[in-house]
């Protein structure tokens, strides 16, 4: 089958198309709200499984791809890409549910509603078991 057989010629100068495109200029895609955030706690660095010592920091898991990539909202602290991080996804449970990951990126929140707040986002990759 010819992959170009379904292509449509578009006249980008057509006034009807230009009018439609102008209506979309102010739109902004925002996928927040599609994932229900949940409270977790994090420990910068490796933390031995089952150990209850060390500095845990409360955080909010705001995105989980389901494939090991997470976005965490937490208080600002010195974190660098490549640094290890331990997450406890059951901070109030009887047993901790610890996962070890690597920080991929971290930055302050940049959306208008984040302005003036301590919104700090951390992207963490947790290797999935094979």
Question: What are the tens digits of pLDDT across the range 44-89?
Answer: 888 665 455 567 889 999 998 888 899 999 988 888 999 999 998 8
Residue 113, classified by CB atoms within 10 Å of its CB into exposed (0-12), middle (13-18) or buried (19+), is exposed
37-130 folds as: Thrombin, subunit H (2.40.10)
Read off the pLDDT of residues 5-21 as tens digits, 9 standing for 90 and up.
Answer: 666 778 889 999 899 88
pLDDT of residue 69: 93
Tell me how far CA of residue 72 lies from CA of 27, 37, 54, 88, 101, in angstroms: 26, 9, 19, 12, 12
CA 22 to chain centre: 30
**What pLDDT sits at residue 49?**
55
Closest by alpha carbon to 38, among 64, 62, 16, 73?
Answer: 62
- pTM for the full model? 0.67
Domain ranges of the chain: 37-130
Mean pLDDT of the chain, nearest integer:
81
């Amino acid at each position: 089958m010819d992959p170009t057989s379904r292509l449509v010629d578009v006249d980008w100068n057509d006034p009807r198309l230009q009018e439609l495109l102008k209506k979309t200029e102010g739109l902004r895609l925002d996928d927040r709200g599609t994932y229900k955030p949940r409270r977790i706690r994090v420990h910068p660095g490796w933390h031995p499984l089952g150990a209850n010592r060390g500095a845990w920091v409360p955080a909010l898991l705001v995105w989980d791809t389901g494939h090991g990539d997470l976005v965490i909202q937490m208080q600002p602290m010195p974190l660098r890409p490549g640094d290890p991080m331990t997450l406890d996804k059951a901070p109030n449970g009887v047993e901790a549910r610890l996962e070890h990951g690597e920080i991929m990126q971290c930055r302050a929140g940049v959306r208008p509603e984040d302005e003036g707040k301590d919104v700090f986002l951390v992207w963490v990759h947790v290797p999935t078991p094979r």
